[in-house]
Structure 1
Amino acid sequence: MEKNYYLELIQSTFSTLLLDAIQYFPENSKKVHYESSGLLFGVESGEQMECDYVFPVGSVEKRTSSSILTNPKVDQALKSSRQLFSTSTFIGTYHSHPYEEYFPDWCCPSNADVLYSLNNKFPYEVIIAMTRNSMEDKPLTIEFYEGEGYEYIHNSKREGNSAPDLKKLGYKTAYLIGEFQKYKFEIRAFQFTGKSLIDIDLESSEAELLSLLQQEEIHLNEIDQKDISRLRKMEYNLRTKQANEKSESNLQYHLSKLKVNS
């Protein structure tokens, strides 16, 4: 299968996804199972889909052995958005996978996730897998990884929480892994093909900006209010640096100003 679009989380969408997943992470995952969920909005830009707005709608209503029942707020929010949004269009949904501990493939779609996509036919799905792995708060760390890309095909003979049928795509796809406060997380993006979900590259100019600030030892809580606008410009420069030759020099200019002022 030929490699197609990639999804980029721009502006504050990465942090919104992460904070929403943390908000709904259950205190006792053995007794209570909550999953964050919400809507993704964005615009197509060349070979990529830019997700520029995320709208949380609360926890997934119910997950059974064979299916996922969506929070009724999703339908209402989607109907309302089509009457209000003028700069973005609805492109898909997201939800979290809260677990007691990390394990391989924890961020991959379940059989029920694939069935959900088959029923709703939304173009994109983002999954945030998360576990509480620390007793103390830690600063944000982000790493960009590549792994084998797969197609996820619903198997009607398996339960919803089981793995779907898998087929290798023949190329690698990018995703994010990190830690924040007491949590370890992984974020992946998937595209609906009409009959299955496939891995696609996930990028984030916001995550890249946060990672850059960390490398330069610039702390967000120490940045003066008058310099907040620089962060917006830097995020924009990061997502346009391939198309605009001035973006890199602009990025370095604002970074140097932050260093002087922090």
Structure 2
Amino acid sequence: MHLELTNQTLATILLDCMHHYPSYKKAKEAFGVILGATEPTSYIGEYSFPIGNVDFRAQDEVSPNKQINQMIMNARKLVATSTSIASYHSHPFDGAYVDWARPSNEDCHYFINEPLEIQLIVALAQIYDESKPYKLVYKKDSTKEFIPNDNMDADPIEKTESTETQYIQGHFQNVAFEIRAYLNTESSLKDIDLFSSEVELNQTLWQHDVHLEQLPAEAMYSIRKLEYAHRQKSQKNASDKIDYHLEKVKKLQIANPIIPTEDDYHNIRFINGLLLKEATSLSYKQAIQLARKGNIFADLHEDSVVLCQVLFDEQANVLFLEDLEKEVGSTIDLADYMVENGYFEEISLCNIRKFPLTFWVLEDKK
């Protein structure tokens, strides 16, 4: 048996873990649920749901809200082809360590009593002074089983087997990470092989010197097709399709991209594989035009920074924020002064709070 993550599930999980790690001092554990399918020889993770609403969240602990979890786990009524197969949580550290994506004793005690069969642990740390491109690789290690220790102050009891298990390592921006998957045996957590079509895709792009930040929006169709061709089920007959879509992507790659320097890095951002610039001045009319094309995003600076897409409702004639990180809890309608002044107001009986908005735009080529 193995777990395979498809359809940008891995990237969504990593973004959630990085979102809760603005710095080591402010880092907190991320938590979410993975939906997909259980097959005879594998678990397929197709969608991940970062869960912002938890009972408690700290740097070394997260306590999920069981009511929220149950609601997500019942999502089969919404996503008819999927069911809940796994959950994930992060281990934020101040540096990269050996076995840093291994379960703690508390993890073992908690998760063996949970109904989900697979647990994913993402260890991460900000260790690079310079921004790194998105890179994913497979690694192998001895298969281990982790049994809860009755002494809560001790590490879990480990049993090492003669076989090896596959896991994922990588880096993005200034963050290094490691991801391992575990089978819940109901008495222990045991290593299980982890695959991802995103790793296969990432390695293919690197091998052919293709970089996502150099690709225009129109290349994303072929990128999605490449991701699908790299899934475990598709690989046997996928070589022709991979070559075909890879050539299309190569032709679309920007020959001489503008590579941001360290001085102007804070004024650009990569979102959905696109390089966007900070909009230092923006009118409401311009925002509507960009929103109609899907070319504008916004950071909402509350207690943490929440990434939103700016969309336009043609019928209601309203510009609004759609929370991409499930933190805000609902959409926010934007008035013209919010866009042009760059802040969102929350007005209560005794208080007015202003939350800054940072807008990120893909410049129109026309």
Aligned-pair identity (%): 34
Structure ID, larger Rg: 2
Report if aligned partners of 1:35, 1:95 keep a CA contact under 8 Å in 2. Answer: yes
For structure 1, the residue ranges without an aligned partner over 5 or more in a row are: none
Counterpart amino acid of residue 36 in structure 2:
G
Q: Using the TM superposition, name which of 114-123 and 86-95 deviates more.
A: 114-123
Question: In the alignment, does 2:72 pair up with 1:78?
Answer: yes
Distance 1:41 1:199 in 2: 20
Distance 1:213 1:40 in 2: 26
* Larger fraction in helix: 1
User: 2:252: which partner in 1?
Assistant: 261
Q: Using the TM superposition, name which of 211-220 and 106-115 deviates more.
A: 211-220
Cα displacement (A) at 1:245: 4.0
Report if aligned partners of 1:35, 1:59 keep a CA contact under 8 Å in 2. Answer: no
Cα displacement (A) at 1:88: 0.6
User: 2:190: which partner in 1?
Assistant: 198
User: Taking CA–CA contacts closer than 8 Å with sequence separation of 6 or more, which of the two structures ends up with the larger relative contact order?
Assistant: 1
Cα displacement (A) at 1:46: 4.2
User: 1:166: which partner in 2?
Assistant: 158
Q: 2:104 aligns with which of 102, 106, 110?
A: 110
- What is the TM-score with the length of structure 2 in the denominator? 0.64
Counterpart amino acid of residue 211 in structure 1:
Q
User: 2:202: which partner in 1?
Assistant: 210
Counterpart amino acid of residue 17 in structure 1:
I
User: 1:92: which partner in 2?
Assistant: 86
Q: 2:15 aligns with which of 14, 19, 31?
A: 19
Q: 1:131 aligns with which of 125, 128, 139?
A: 125
SS at match of 2:155: coil
Q: 2:178 aligns with which of 173, 179, 186?
A: 186
User: 2:168: which partner in 1?
Assistant: 176
User: 2:344: which partner in 1?
Assistant: none
Report if aligned partners of 1:24, 1:59 keep a CA contact under 8 Å in 2. Answer: no
Q: Deviations over 1:111-152 (max 9, x none)?
A: 111111122131000010001102221111222100001011
Cα displacement (A) at 1:76: 4.9
For structure 2, the residue ranges without an aligned partner over 5 or more in a row are: 254-366
Q: Deviations over 1:71-130 (max 9, x none)?
A: 356435325524322011001210000001111111001011111112213100001000
Question: In the alignment, does 2:226 pair up with 1:230?
Answer: no
Distance 1:23 1:126 in 2: 17
Shift of the 75–245 alpha-carbon distance from structure 1 to 2, 3 Å rule, reads closer
User: 2:144: which partner in 1?
Assistant: 150
**Cα RMSD for the two superposed structures:** 2.3
Shift of the 79–213 alpha-carbon distance from structure 1 to 2, 3 Å rule, reads closer
Counterpart amino acid of residue 137 in structure 1:
S
Distance 1:96 1:42 in 2: 20
Q: Using the TM superposition, name which of 148-157 and 135-144 deviates more.
A: 135-144
- What is the TM-score with the length of structure 1 in the denominator? 0.88
Counterpart amino acid of residue 46 in structure 2:
D
SS at match of 1:191: strand
User: 2:327: which partner in 1?
Assistant: none
